[in-house]
Amino acid sequence: MTQHDEGKEKLGKIEIAPEVIEVITAIATQEVEGVAELKSTFAEGVVEKLGRKNYSKGVKVEITDEGIMIDIFVMVDFGVSIPKVGVEIQNHVRKQLETMASLEPKSIDVHITGVQFSEQTE
């Protein structure tokens, strides 16, 4: 996916699989305060029901000649500022991808799919 030229000798290229970008994005998203959960697609839900852990649930990465485009599907906690959480997700994902993989995505689109209410116990 990406090539690094650090150091004086060029030993070869380093490729980062799209699945790695998805996992980094999903974990970074879950670290943002106000995020209730990432929403899975139908296919991801089937995989989870078969007992496989899906670490990239709710994230779609598309790599084109134009760059890396990321879509994140998330539910937020009731009472949070939805625009603020969305911007925090974008900033945190961008920072983590730059730090961990030296990648700069062209776009990070956050799709708020719902609001989760906390259960109150009496």
Mean pLDDT, the chain cut into blocks of 10 residues (122 residues total): 54 91 95 91 52 75 94 96 98 97 96 86 48
Say what the pLDDT of residue 54 is. Answer: 63
Residue listed under structure tokens 């150091």: 7
Angle between helices 82-101 and 18-30 (to 10 degrees): 140
- Determine how many CB atoms are found less than 10 A away from the CB of residue 113: 13
Q: Is the dihedral of CA 93, 94, 95, 101 positive or negative?
A: positive
Say what the pLDDT of residue 101 is. Answer: 94
CA dihedral 22, 6, 92, 66 (to 10 degrees): -60
Say what the pLDDT of residue 97 is. Answer: 97
- pTM as predicted: 0.80
Say what the pLDDT of residue 120 is. Answer: 55
Check if the beta carbon of residue 104 is closer than 8 Å to that of residue 98.
yes
Say what the pLDDT of residue 11 is. Answer: 87
